[in-house]
Amino acid sequence: MTLVAGCLYLLYYRGVIRSEENRLVDLFGPDFEAYRQTTPRFWPAFRHYHLIQLERTISTRIVERGLREVVWFFAMILFIDQLENLHLAGHFVVAVLPL
């Protein structure tokens, strides 16, 4: 189940990344295009990391939107766990195979 959930998450998040990239191109144009050329989409490239700027400003609205986009994933994990508990308790039997 973990492998299936992980694959579904990656498939979903791939679309989220592409959607965000399109939005950022609209907002920042050539600056974002230059950024995209040097920054990987998913896994970080630590060779580009520099400790020059000591303060960062974070928009809580953007963080909230990001959390709303992925909360379904955690909800699904809880749902599958509860479904498994019901099955193990004998309340949710899908099929009985003959011996």
Q: List pLDDT tens digits, range 9-29.
A: 988 988 999 999 999 999 999
Q: Are residues 5 and 46 in the same domain?
A: yes
Contacts (Cβ under 8 Å, ≥6 apart) of 25: 32, 33
Q: Are residues 15 and 26 in the same domain?
A: yes
Q: Are residues 38 and 19 in the same domain?
A: yes
The more confident residue out of 71 and 94 is 71
Q: What is d(CA 72, CA 14) in angstroms, rounded to the nearest whole number? A: 15
Q: Are residues 72 and 37 in the same domain?
A: no
Place of tokens 């986009």: 69
Domain of 74, in residue numbers:
59-99
pLDDT confidence of 51, banded at 50, 70, 90?
low
pLDDT confidence of 91, banded at 50, 70, 90?
confident
* Count of CA atoms in the C-beta half-sphere (13 A) of 31: 5
